[in-house]
A and B are shown apart, each in its own frame.
Chain A
Amino acid sequence: MKAVYFAWVRERIGKSEEEISPPAEVVTVGDLIAWLAGRGEGYAYAFEKASVIRAAIDRVHVKHHAHIADGREIAFFPPMTGG
């Protein structure tokens, strides 16, 4: 699946998108955050406070307990500050 990152999540990881292939035991958004956090220093920094991270699967907001199953694109970003 494709992972995309925005705002300070993007800056800390150092890239805006990448293809990822998480192992089968990564089932939920929360699992994926924990898995990504273990991929290196930038990832660990981006996801150090997992509870503040927002996620979207195929451009729809999801909670951390949501399953990533059939998602093609998963996005991670901080709370939104538009308007």
Chain B
Amino acid sequence: MRKIRVQAEDFDAAAEARALSLGRADVGATVTFVGYCRDEGGTLAALEIEHYPGMAEAEIERVVAEAETRWPLIGVTAIHRFGRLAPGAQIVMVAAASGHRAAAFAAAEMLMDYLKTRAPFWKQAIRADGTREGWVEAKDEDADSAARWGAAEP
């Protein structure tokens, strides 16, 4: 069971996670990760997230398929937002459900590491004074995190 969404609207992470095990008796563990927009010590007014429509969904689908080959997952939900997001807003969530917690924890972590380096999204920072700081630079540590799972750079 896969649910993949790329949307401007907010999402209900708790309800999404709960839906993975609702009405089932085989789920032993669901791990949910939610990523938020930080205010960077009060200096950031918003993030503007651009994406590649069509490819964003397709690439997340490929990432989820990769996780499914590695762990016995019962269900995965991945939602990524785009557009202008204020500090405190939810940006992304992944939830992985499995029979046991080890697979659910590992899958959720791998999904996020892959999403950050492979899914076609780009963040731009809007400062508190209204100026555009420009495009957020990709971090080496994100590439290193993805490499832990054997991911080649896209």
| A59 to B120 alpha-carbon distance, docked (Å) | 10
Please report the number of residue pairs spanning A and B whose Cβ atoms sit closer than 8 angstroms: 75
Of B58, B59, B123, which contacts A81 at CB under 8 A?
Answer: B123
Chain A contributes a number of interface residues (CB within 8 A of B) equal to: 17
- Give complex CA distance A2, B122 in Å: 21
SS of B interface (majority): mixed
Q: How many Å from the CB of B13 to the closest CB on chain A?
A: 15
User: Are B91's CB and A77's CB within 8 A?
Assistant: no
> How far in angstroms is the closest Cβ of chain B from A15?
14
Q: Are A81 and B54 in contact (CB under 8 A)?
A: no
Partner of A78, one of B35, B54, B138: B138
B residues lining the A interface (CB < 8 Å):
35, 49-52, 54-55, 58-59, 80, 91-92, 112, 115-124, 134-138, 142, 154
In the complex the two chains form, is A80's CB within 8 Å of B135's CB?
no
Looking at the complex, which of A3-11, A19-27, A39-47 is the stretch in contact with chain B? Answer: A3-11
Contacts of B51 in A (CB 8 A): 82
How far apart are the CA atoms of A3 and B80 in the complex, in Å?
25
User: Of B52, B122, B136, which is within 8 A of A56 by CB?
Assistant: B52
Chain B residue at minimum C-beta to C-beta distance from A82: B121
Given A59-B58, A61-B59, A82-B120, output 17 extra A-B contacts at Cβ < 8 Å: A56-B52, A60-B58, A75-B55, A77-B52, A78-B122, A78-B135, A78-B138, A79-B137, A80-B119, A81-B123, A81-B135, A82-B80, A82-B115, A82-B123, A83-B91, A83-B119, A83-B142
